Amino acid sequence: MSLIVQKYGGTSVGTIERIQTVADKIRQTWDLGHGVVVVVSAMAGETNRLLDLAHRMAAAPDRCETDVLVSTGEQVTIALLAMRLKEIGVPSRSFLGHQVRILTDNVYSKARIHSIDATEVTEALERRQVVVIAGFQGVDPEGNITTLGRGGSDLTAVAVAAAVKADACEIYTDVDGIYTTDPNICPDARKIYKIAYEEMLEMASLGAKVMQTRSVEFAMKFNVPVHVRSSFSDVEGSWIMKEDKGMETVVVAGVTLDKNEAKVTLKGVMDRPGIAARIFGALAVESINVDVIIQNVSEDGRTDVSFTVSKVDAKRAVAAARVVAEELGGFEVTTSDNVAKVSIVGVGMRTQAGVAARMFKALADAGINIEMISTSEIKVSCVIDLRFAELAVRVVHDAFDLGVSP
């Protein structure tokens, strides 16, 4: 018998009928004799309804009270699900974040989990109860309710799985797993049945939307095997787990596309020590994350520097760079939205040579110019013209034979 944590998102519990379906699904697992802990989100639309109330109530809703408000969304779901489980004969009990002492810091609306006290959960499991826990919420050391921000329920599920030492953490969602790339772009994308934490981390931060990086980080830290699967079917999904021998034989696990970056170019920057520190220091002060950076070869003591930032930060990045440009006697600052970042990810890259070259060749063969390159031990990213984004994904996906069953 195993101990399984199951997480159901807002769409999976979006209506009374869907919650009933989820209850039936839980019973199947419980009937097999497994211990089951369930983490649920608010019913789809509920969090936004509550946030709307807050914004009608106050121009700048207090963050602490906003957390008190929106955390009711998950509370409604756990109560409804637990009563449904009891109705169909499955002993069950609901727990709020504070009732399992999901202790967080006090950064309201995006708190970080410090610890979980699993005592009561374990006791309930020993009584063969299905434990239903509100996702997305915790409590700070003073006893105030906190919420964990976007993807918070996944994080709750992984953290609970770590705390109770679950055999698996199943994330039920509206897709049936993680794919080698977005099937909407590349029809021959295949489901990845096993992916290493590190690969998933890179893919998540490079644009794959299935799971947030911090949930993957948490799973990796505590070695929780995560199974991403569909709440609308019973087919096997994707396992996110510790790297194993088999994974190394796969050079590239997946191809990602990120269209949410903008490129900022600084032309005619004085090429002398300390200049880069001034520029990127100014961005850091503004809490702007810089992704890829390139610097051209210097000519006549001047050089060009380009970097990418998230599109929402682009304006502020330009403004900050212009302030530095004025102080230092002038360089030109321009920005472009017309870029996309295509990346390949795979732990196999560590042991195989020529992977980047194969990607560059595939792009070149398709006539796609590479504007910027960034690499790490297990990924290669190329910034290209936005117009070629989908084409680039397809040719790279092909170049590594990702459409073919291994």
Tally of CB atoms within 10 A around 198? 22
- By CB under 8 A, is residue 241 in contact with a copy of itself? no
Nearer to a copy of itself, 50 or 294 (CB): 50
SS3 (DSSP) at 231: coil
CA–CA separation, 4 and 186 (whole Å): 33
Name which position in 1, 60, 297, 353 contacts a copy of itself (CB under 8 A). 60
Tally of CB atoms within 10 A around 44? 16
Distance of alpha carbon 35 from the chain centroid: 27
- Give the helix ranges, DSSP H, for 237-274: 245-248
- By CB under 8 A, is residue 79 in contact with a copy of itself? yes
SS3 (DSSP) at 82: helix
Specify whether the CB–CB gap between 2 and 167 falls below 8 A.
yes
Nearer to a copy of itself, 117 or 327 (CB): 117
Nearer to a copy of itself, 93 or 397 (CB): 93
CA–CA separation, 134 and 79 (whole Å): 9
Residue for token pair 């602490």:
64
- By CB under 8 A, is residue 54 in contact with a copy of itself? yes
Nearer to a copy of itself, 119 or 289 (CB): 119
SS3 (DSSP) at 4: strand
- By CB under 8 A, is residue 21 in contact with a copy of itself? no
Specify whether the CB–CB gap between 133 and 148 falls below 8 A.
no
Name which position in 3, 44, 50, 391 contacts a copy of itself (CB under 8 A). 50
Pairing of strands 332-336, 290-295: unpaired
Q: Which of 224, 200, 226 is nearest to 212 (CA)?
A: 200
Distance of alpha carbon 133 from the chain centroid: 21
- By CB under 8 A, is residue 87 in contact with a copy of itself? yes
- By CB under 8 A, is residue 327 in contact with a copy of itself? no
CA–CA separation, 231 and 215 (whole Å): 19
Name which position in 18, 25, 27, 98 contacts a copy of itself (CB under 8 A). 98
Using the CB atoms, write b or e for 57-91: b if 16+ within 10 Å.
eeeebeebebbebbbbbbbebbebbbebbeeeebe
Query: To the nearest whole angstrom, how small is the minimum distance from the Cβ of residue 171 to a copy of itself?
Result: 24
Name which position in 99, 122, 335, 336 contacts a copy of itself (CB under 8 A). 99
Nearer to a copy of itself, 6 or 71 (CB): 71
HSE (side-chain half, CA atoms, 13 Å) at 140: 17
**258-147-103 Cα angle (round to 5):** 120
Nearer to a copy of itself, 70 or 201 (CB): 70
Query: To the nearest whole angstrom, how small is the minimum distance from the Cβ of residue 187 to a copy of itself?
Result: 40
- By CB under 8 A, is residue 102 in contact with a copy of itself? no
Nearer to a copy of itself, 141 or 354 (CB): 141
- By CB under 8 A, is residue 124 in contact with a copy of itself? no
Nearer to a copy of itself, 20 or 374 (CB): 20
Name which position in 143, 187, 273, 329 contacts a copy of itself (CB under 8 A). 143
Specify whether the CB–CB gap between 88 and 55 falls below 8 A.
no
Q: Which of 25, 29, 133 is nearest to 77 (CA)?
A: 133
Specify whether the CB–CB gap between 140 and 105 falls below 8 A.
yes
- By CB under 8 A, is residue 51 in contact with a copy of itself? no
Name which position in 11, 21, 29, 72 contacts a copy of itself (CB under 8 A). 72
Name which position in 3, 44, 51, 76 contacts a copy of itself (CB under 8 A). 76
CA–CA separation, 357 and 130 (whole Å): 52
- By CB under 8 A, is residue 106 in contact with a copy of itself? no
- By CB under 8 A, is residue 311 in contact with a copy of itself? no
Query: To the nearest whole angstrom, how small is the minimum distance from the Cβ of residue 154 to a copy of itself?
Result: 22
Q: Which of the stretches 95-103, 181-189, 251-259, 364-372 binds a copy of itself when contact is defined by CB under 8 A?
A: 95-103
- By CB under 8 A, is residue 229 in contact with a copy of itself? no
Nearer to a copy of itself, 75 or 374 (CB): 75
Name which position in 29, 44, 51, 86 contacts a copy of itself (CB under 8 A). 86
CA–CA separation, 204 and 224 (whole Å): 17
> Binding residues for a copy of itself, per CB under 8 A?
16, 19-20, 50, 53-54, 56-62, 65-66, 68-69, 71-72, 75-76, 78-80, 82-84, 86-87, 94, 96, 98-99, 143, 145
